[in-house]
Amino acid sequence: MQLLDGKSTSKAIKEELSQAVEQRKKDGKKIPHLVAVLVGNDGGSLTYVGSKVKTCQKIGFESTLIHKEDTISEKELLDLVNELNNDENVDGFIVQLPLPKHIDEKKVTLAIDPKKDVDGFHPMNLGNMVLDLPGFLPATPAGMLELFKRYEIETSGKHCVVIGRSHIVGAPMSIMMGRNSYPGNSTVTLTHSRTKNLKEIVLQADIIISAIGKPGFLTADMVKEGAVVMDVGITRIEDETKKKGYRISGDVDFENVAPKCSYITPVPGGVGPMTIVSLMMNTLKAMELNGK
């Protein structure tokens, strides 16, 4: 069994990105600028946005955090998105989800200029992904593709079972793994809450991607010997023995599943760190796509 170490892989990518920034400076080019919009004080969102901004600082990107009260109206948020769309100094931006209930997330996603949509959530970018056209890939699936590449894992002709059909992870990942490119060319089964005989299906998988947010859901009896397992779950579980009062758990019963795998991502330190560097790679790409 080999660990798919997202921590060390993302560190290597951050170094590559720092070098790209240095090269841009030498060439007299603009430094990438990422803006993150956070609405309200959701604990998870605060942590994620904080690490995104910190990573920008580490690699030499410019970054701005715009933190709004959860009382902001939908109109005010849409106006802010419009401002960012038109700000020449902003190369890419994200609006952290979830948003408060009185704001329609779809409206906000649609309002973002696809050329600055480094989250890759806009239908234009999702369409480009399906058609294999240039655009932004959603960060978490893109981070997983990067792990396949960096560990040179064969995906062609393999049976890939994706568990969970979220718009952010499961659905795009199922499309990417089936595309005619590497990593891809897999035979993909997308499973979800209505799937019958889930265990039988997952047992046939050469590659398992679990993205449902249910701690310990994927147990050893569901995994074929030699499978590759990617765990996208990051659920907070109360734990008084921890300084923060919680620990992070993945979807996979790691202790019992890992010995059966050829490769597996740990949680934390697997897919999570890759998501953040993918966002940074997208921001650099935004400059290139926009001819800066």
**In the annotation, is 239 catalytic?**
no
Contact flag: residue 65 with ligand GUN (CB under 6 A) = no
Of the residues 5, 14, 91, 96, which is catalytic?
96
**In the annotation, is 221 catalytic?**
no
Contact flag: residue 231 with ligand GUN (CB under 6 A) = no
Binding string to ligand GUN for residues 166 to 185, with x set by CB under 6 A, is what? Answer: --x-----------------
Contact flag: residue 96 with ligand GUN (CB under 6 A) = yes
Contact flag: residue 119 with ligand GUN (CB under 6 A) = yes
SS (H, E, C) the chain: CEECCHHHHHHHHHHHHHHHHHHHHHCCCCCCEEEEEEECCCHHHHHHHHHHHHHHHHHCCEEEEEEECCCCCHHHHHHHHHHHHHCCCCCEEEECCCCCCCCCHHHHHHHCCHHHECCCCCHHHHHHHHHCCCCCCCHHHHHHHHHHHHCCCCCCCCEEEEECCCCCCHHHHHHHHHCCCCCCCCEEEEECCCCCCHHHHHHCCCEEEECCCCCCCECHHHCCCCCEEEECCCEEEECCCCCCCEEEECCECHHHHHHHCCEECCCCCCHHHHHHHHHHHHHHHHHHHCCC
Total residues at interface with ligand GUN (CB under 6 A): 7
Which residue's CB comes closest to ligand GUN? 97
Shorter beta-carbon distance to ligand GUN: residue 80 or 94? 94
Chosen residue from 17, 56, 108, 139 binding ligand GUN by CB under 6 A: 139
Of the residues 119, 206, 231, 253, which is catalytic?
119
**In the annotation, is 243 catalytic?**
no
Contact flag: residue 46 with ligand GUN (CB under 6 A) = no
